[in-house]
Structure 1
Amino acid sequence: MKVGMIGLGDIAKKAYLPVLTQTKGIELHICTRNVETLKEIAETYSINHLYHDFDHWLESGITAAFVHSSTESHESIINKLLDNGIHVYVDKPITYDAESSTRLMDKAKSKDLLLMVGFNRRYAPSYMQLKELAEPNMIIMQKNRGHHAGEVRQFIFDDFIHVIDTLLYLFPYPIENIRIRGKQENGKLHHVVLQLEAMQGTAIGIMNREAGTTEERVEVMSANETRMVMNVNEITSHIDKNCSTYANDDWQPTLQKRGFHGVISTFLEAAKTNSVPYKQYQRDLESHVIAERIVQTLGDRH
């Protein structure tokens, strides 16, 4: 299967190329306007199919493509890929607004093509263990950073959308109410709190960009057990007075621990078999719709 990749920035180099170049059964075609980057990647991974020109890359015979270009370019690139009958995997977010993201998702559905968003945490083994906890009554996720207050829309769509999507993945109930709070100073968003409410429980997402540290912590609570994961790796289970802490297999690759192996293989298998998971559309899009609601609630200056 011929698979394309466009955009060779940090995430492509760190997370996707190491996995894709070791994946059997695919022929990788990469495209970027940066000549030096293209040369560096080609030499590092011995890739022979290189493109500076987008149209030549588009006509190379690829049937699936990974889009790792700037978010501002996503809409144009995805439109052209879908028009050419090519399945698409795109880094989150699809675009910086829910309207255009919805339009692209509807277009993919109308053409029976994949438009899959790179929400890798759903495929992280530690978070899959959190998902196994039956009938949770409360979920709390914190994804904090130090000294990174930012413009509202980019803050929410570039970063906090991971929190939104993880809550939606772990929270098994229909959402009946949404509460949103945030702190802004001098046009910058410093922190945001999202609360999803259902009759059976509550899910709370927090991001503090002035926390003095970078950390990610998720707790899933039920009447019988509480499980917590720190930094997508260390898992703690509390049952009554008993506490057990264990980490993922030390020999397990970091990209597998963080869900990249799982999300990439899921996309490639679906593209290979032309299996379009329509539930995936709904889940991926819901994260963008809630992100837009947060932006509008806190004040859109886009």
Structure 2
Amino acid sequence: MRIAIVGIGDIAEKAYLPILAQLKGVELVLCTRNNMTLQKLALQYRIKQCYQDYRQLSKANIDAVMIHSSTASHPEIAAYFLQQGLPTFVDKPLADNGLDCEKLYELAQRRQVPLYMGFNRRFIPLYQRHLGDIQHGNSDALLSSLRWEKHRHNQAGSLRNFVFDDFIHPLDSVNLGAKNNLENVHLTSQFKGAQLARLDLQWQQGNTLLHASMNRLYGTTCERVSASFENRAYEFDSFTSGKFLQDKQTSIIQLEDWTPMLTAKGFAGMIDDWISVVQSGKLKQSVIERNLSSHQLAEAVCQKLQGCG
């Protein structure tokens, strides 16, 4: 299987290439405008084919493409490869607006090819093991609440960058029912001048309370997850360990020693899933709906807050 990597930023270099380069049966083709980066990584990973223009990949005989370029370039590049009938992976977000996301999924449907979104938090093994794999639609009926917080220090930002490039992580992580609008959603925000500093969304799905929170004027960078069931609860402040609370007792839970960091953060599981999607040529309808709805919900937030700063 020949997979092209388009755009090699920090995450692609640190999280994706180390995993992909070790997969048996996968041959990588690199594409980035930065020739120095291209040559360095080609040498490091012994990659033979390299390009500086993604349109040249049409002659590289690739089976799939992974897009890690800037958010603004995602719609154009993704549309190019979807038109060619190639399974396409896009690191989150798909675009910085809901309309472009809808157009891309419509194109993917017309061309009958999978359009895969890089939401690694759906594949964090510690959470999957103890939370009933709720990120994949196997939610425990007794789940009473799920709260996902992702905070940063001194990084208030523009509305769309805040919502689509960063807040979409906790938003998608609690969007278990593929909600795509703000009906019955409680939204609160804080601005610092024209910059968005904090955002919280909370709603109820059946008997489950869902809450996504981000404060980018926090004391430090951190991520916390808490899930409550009937008379039991889980608390996580990292991808590797947490607490289980039941019968007024607290026990520590953690991943096995020597679990690779990229596995702990969900990248390894996500890439395995992506490879299986390429091989089958299909993406579950429930996954498509959630991918799109999380972006539509992000767009609804931006529309609601437009001009509030």
The TM-score with structure 2 as length reference comes to 0.93
The 10-residue stretch of structure 1 (280-289 or 129-138) with the greater mean CA deviation from structure 2: 129-138
Conserved? CA contact 2:35–2:52, under 8 Å: yes
Q: Which residue identity does 1:292 align to in structure 2? A: E
Conserved? CA contact 2:180–2:293, under 8 Å: no
1:149 matched residue in structure 2: 156
Conserved? CA contact 2:156–2:197, under 8 Å: yes
Q: CA deviation at 1:51?
A: 1.0
Separation (CA, whole Å) in 1 of partners of 2:131 and 2:202: 19
Q: Tell me, what secondary structure is at the counterpart of 2:185?
A: strand
Separation (CA, whole Å) in 1 of partners of 2:277 and 2:189: 38
CA offset digits 1:35-60 (Å, max 9, x no partner):
10001101111111111232222321
Q: Tell me, what secondary structure is at the counterpart of 1:113?
A: coil
Does structure 1 residue 224 correspond to structure 2 residue 231?
Answer: yes
Identity of aligned residues (%): 34
- The Cα RMSD (Å) is 1.9
Q: Tell me, what secondary structure is at the counterpart of 1:250?
A: coil
2:145 matched residue in structure 1: 138
Q: CA deviation at 1:300?
A: 5.6
Residues 33 and 136 of structure 1, relative CA distance in 2, 3 Å threshold: same
- 1:50-129 equivalences under 5 Å are 50-129=50-129
Separation (CA, whole Å) in 2 of partners of 1:111 and 1:280: 18
Separation (CA, whole Å) in 2 of partners of 1:138 and 1:197: 9
CA offset digits 1:240-267 (Å, max 9, x no partner):
2111112211211110011101111111
Q: Which residue identity does 1:281 align to in structure 2? A: I
Q: Which residue identity does 1:239 align to in structure 2? A: Q
Separation (CA, whole Å) in 2 of partners of 1:25 and 1:5: 16
Residue from 195, 208, 212 that aligns with 1:205: 212
2:186 matched residue in structure 1: 179
Separation (CA, whole Å) in 2 of partners of 1:121 and 1:255: 11
Conserved? CA contact 1:30–1:51, under 8 Å: yes
Q: Which residue identity does 1:40 align to in structure 2? A: K
Residue from 250, 253, 276 that aligns with 2:283: 276
Conserved? CA contact 1:174–1:198, under 8 Å: no
The TM-score with structure 1 as length reference comes to 0.95
Residues 172 and 62 of structure 1, relative CA distance in 2, 3 Å threshold: closer
Conserved? CA contact 1:190–1:210, under 8 Å: yes
Separation (CA, whole Å) in 1 of partners of 2:110 and 2:157: 36
Residue from 170, 189, 198 that aligns with 1:191: 198
Q: CA deviation at 1:174?
A: 11
CA offset digits 1:218-276 (Å, max 9, x no partner):
10001121011112221210002111112211211110011101111111111112123
- 1:233-252 equivalences under 5 Å are 233-252=240-259
Runs of 4+ in 1 over 6 A off after TM superposition: 171-176
Separation (CA, whole Å) in 2 of partners of 1:29 and 1:240: 54
2:136 matched residue in structure 1: none
Separation (CA, whole Å) in 1 of partners of 2:307 and 2:281: 38
Conserved? CA contact 1:3–1:27, under 8 Å: yes
Q: Specify every segment of 5 or more residues in structure 1 that has no aligned partner in the other structure, as ranges.
A: none
Conserved? CA contact 1:8–1:68, under 8 Å: yes
**Number of positions where the alignment pairs a residue of Structure 1 with one of Structure 2:** 301
Q: Which residue identity does 1:102 align to in structure 2? A: E
Conserved? CA contact 2:179–2:293, under 8 Å: no
Q: Tell me, what secondary structure is at the counterpart of 1:212?
A: coil
Separation (CA, whole Å) in 2 of partners of 1:231 and 1:147: 21
